[in-house]
Amino acid sequence: MKNQIHVNITSPCSEDFQKFSPTAKGGFCDSCEKEVIDFTKMNAPEIIAYFKTREIENTCGRFNSNQLTTYSYQPEKSKIRNILSGIGLACLAIFSMTSAQAQEIKKAASTGNPSEINTIDQQQEIEVKGTILDENGLALPSANVILENSAIGTTTNFDGYFAFPKKLKKGDVLLISYLGYQTQKVVISNQNATSEINLQIDMSMPTVVLMGKVASKKVYASKRK
């Protein structure tokens, strides 16, 4: 059983952090009359350790956009992977279900065009479900998965899982977006039947620094191991 902490800032603060009076952990905001913790210099284990021992609702913090995510850890163990810098990748596991027998497929080669998902060449509708993870293998909760040129879509749960509410066809395009990342396109195409595709999607963009009161779900036990 894993415990998880979901960290987010719903209302960013417009105060200038550089004008705050320096403190041991960040700076003191005269407007709010409280300390603002500078999390931009912390790695994943340090962020987890901080929120495990404090009330998240009473924390004001300064974060890089890619730090606003869900952190998973084993309560019995202290070893948790550090956050790595560089290009962010989201791993999207797509399951396409058709009435035809599944056949082996190969991943579409990276060409700079929207990533292509191979499905069977027919007009039958396809169920799409999967999991969206960041470059550290952590789930991306509340990521948006929307059918292009429509209002049909869904969001991932706390484990990064989603099941698209509408069956798709060849040529349909899914738009995947998450705070701090570029929106990516996934195109349904028609090369071969498949039961599972592991797709690496480039979600990189310049780091954005956000500051404000921390909004988070309480630590909870995930059912996934």
Mind spelling out the 3-state secondary structure of 106-173? CCCCCCCCCEEEECCCCCCCEEEEEEEECCCCCECCCCEEEECCCCCEEECCCCCEEECCCCECCCCE
Q: pTM to 2 decimals?
A: 0.40
1 pLDDT more than 50 = yes
Q: Are 191 and 103 in contact (CB under 8 A)?
A: no
Report the sign of the C-alpha dihedral through residues 93, 97, 103, 108, in that order.
Answer: negative
Dihedral of the CA atoms 57, 61, 66, 72 (nearest 10)?
Answer: -40
Q: What is the pLDDT of residue 28?
A: 92
Q: What is the pLDDT of residue 114?
A: 52
Mean pLDDT in residue range 142-158: 86
CA-CA distances (angstroms) from residue 186 to 38, 93, 126? Answer: 36, 12, 14
Which domains does the chain show, CATH number per domain?
A: 2-83+206-222 (no CATH), 89-202 (2.60.40)
Q: Could you tell me what percent of the chain has a pLDDT over 90?
A: 1
20 pLDDT more than 70 = yes
3-class secondary-structure state, position 38:
strand
61 pLDDT more than 70 = yes
Mean pLDDT in residue range 193-204: 38
Q: How far apart are CA 65 and CA 194, in angstroms?
A: 35
76 backbone dihedrals φ, ψ, rounded to 5°? -80, -15
Mean pLDDT in residue range 19-28: 89
Mean pLDDT in residue range 209-225: 56
Q: Which amino acid is at 117?
A: I
76 vs 37, which has greater pLDDT?
A: 37
Q: What is the pLDDT of residue 52?
A: 77
Q: What is the pLDDT of residue 149?
A: 87
145 pLDDT more than 50 = yes
Mean pLDDT in residue range 184-197: 51
48 pLDDT more than 80 = yes
Q: What is the pLDDT of residue 211?
A: 62
pLDDT, averaged across the chain: 67
170 pLDDT more than 70 = yes
Question: Helices marked H in 29-82 — which ranges?
Answer: 44-52
77 CB neighbour count, 10 Å cutoff: 7
100 pLDDT more than 70 = no
Exposure letters 129-165 (e unless 16+ CB within 10 A, then b): ebbbbbbbebbbbebbbbbeeeeebbebebbbebebe
Q: What is the pLDDT of residue 57?
A: 59
Q: Are 194 and 119 in contact (CB under 8 A)?
A: yes
Mean pLDDT in residue range 179-187: 74
Q: How many residues can be counted in the chain?
A: 225
Q: Could you tell me what percent of the chain has a pLDDT over 70?
A: 54
25 pLDDT more than 80 = yes
Mean pLDDT in residue range 147-154: 88
Beta-carbon-side half-sphere exposure of residue 2 (alpha carbons within 13 Å): 18
